[in-house]
Structure 1
Amino acid sequence: MAFFTSEYECKLDAKGRLVLPAKIKAALPESNGNELVLRRGFEPCLVLYPMLEYRKIYNRVAGLDEFNEEFRNFQRNFFRGNTEVELDNAGRFLIPKTMLRYSGIERDAIVVGMGNRVELWHPEKYEDYLIQENSDFSKLAQKLLSE
Structure 2
Amino acid sequence: MAFFTSEYECKIDAKGRLVLPAKIKANLPESSGNELVVRRGFEPCLILYPMVEFKKIYSKIAGLNEFNEEYRKLQRNFFRGSSVVELDNNGRFLIPKLMLNYASLEKDAVVVGMGNKVEIWDPITYEQHLISDPSEFSKLAQKYLDE
Inter-partner Cα distance in structure 1 for 2:63 and 2:53:
16
Q: Deviations over 1:37-62 (max 9, x none)?
A: 00000000000000000000000000
> Which stretch of the first structure deviates more once superposed, 30-39 or 132-141?
30-39
Inter-partner Cα distance in structure 2 for 1:96 and 1:50:
17
Inter-partner Cα distance in structure 1 for 2:30 and 2:72:
34
Offset at 1:33? Answer: 3.1
Supply the AA of the counterpart residue of 2:74: F
**Secondary structure of the residue that 1:105 maps to in structure 2?**
coil
What's 1:121 paired with? 121
What's 1:134 paired with? 134
Supply the AA of the counterpart residue of 2:90: A
Which consecutive residues of structure 1, in runs of 5 or more, have no partner in the other structure? none
Identity %, equivalent residues: 73
Which consecutive residues of structure 2, in runs of 5 or more, have no partner in the other structure? none
What's 1:143 paired with? 143
Q: What is the TM-score with the length of structure 2 in the denominator?
A: 0.98
Ranges of 4+ aligned residues in structure 1 off by more than 4 Å: none
Inter-partner Cα distance in structure 1 for 2:46 and 2:32:
20
Is 1:79 the counterpart of 2:70? The answer is: no
Supply the AA of the counterpart residue of 1:25: K
What's 2:39 paired with? 39
Offset at 1:81? Answer: 3.0
Inter-partner Cα distance in structure 2 for 1:6 and 1:138:
19
Where in structure 2 are the equivalents of 1:59-70 lying within 5 Å? 59-70=59-70
Inter-partner Cα distance in structure 1 for 2:32 and 2:122:
27
